[in-house]
Amino acid sequence: MALFRKFFYRKPPDGLLEISESVYAKCLYDAIARMERAAEKGKAIAAAVEGVEKHWGTSGSG
């Protein structure tokens, strides 16, 4: 909304603001979903590395 106030000195035409806000919201939710998937993958990788470290730590010293 503030972006439109910056570029438009008056109210934008009907429909323009609604389209822009929905596109912004979709992009925001898509970015959040991507970040959540990346965090899940990162947690899975960290767990796998931790498992390997534990395995090497127990079997490597014996």
Has residue 9 been placed in a domain? no
Q: What is the mean pLDDT of the chain?
A: 77
Has residue 8 been placed in a domain? no
Has residue 46 been placed in a domain? yes
Domain that includes residue 37, residue range: 15-56
Q: Which amino acid is at 24?
A: Y
pLDDT at 1 over 90: no
pLDDT at 26: 83
Segment 4-15 mean pLDDT: 60
Give the least confident one: 12-16, 25-29, 50-54. 12-16
DSSP per position, 1-53: -HHHHHH-SSPPPTTHHHHHHHHHHHHHHHHHHHHHHHHHHHHHHHHHHHHHH
Counting the structural domains of the chain, the total is 1
Has residue 5 been placed in a domain? no
Residue 46: alpha-carbon gap to chain centroid = 19
pLDDT at 30 over 60: yes
The whole-model pTM stands at 0.50
pLDDT at 41 over 90: yes
Has residue 31 been placed in a domain? yes
Has residue 3 been placed in a domain? no
Has residue 4 been placed in a domain? no
Give the C-alpha separation, 54 to 38, whole Å.
24
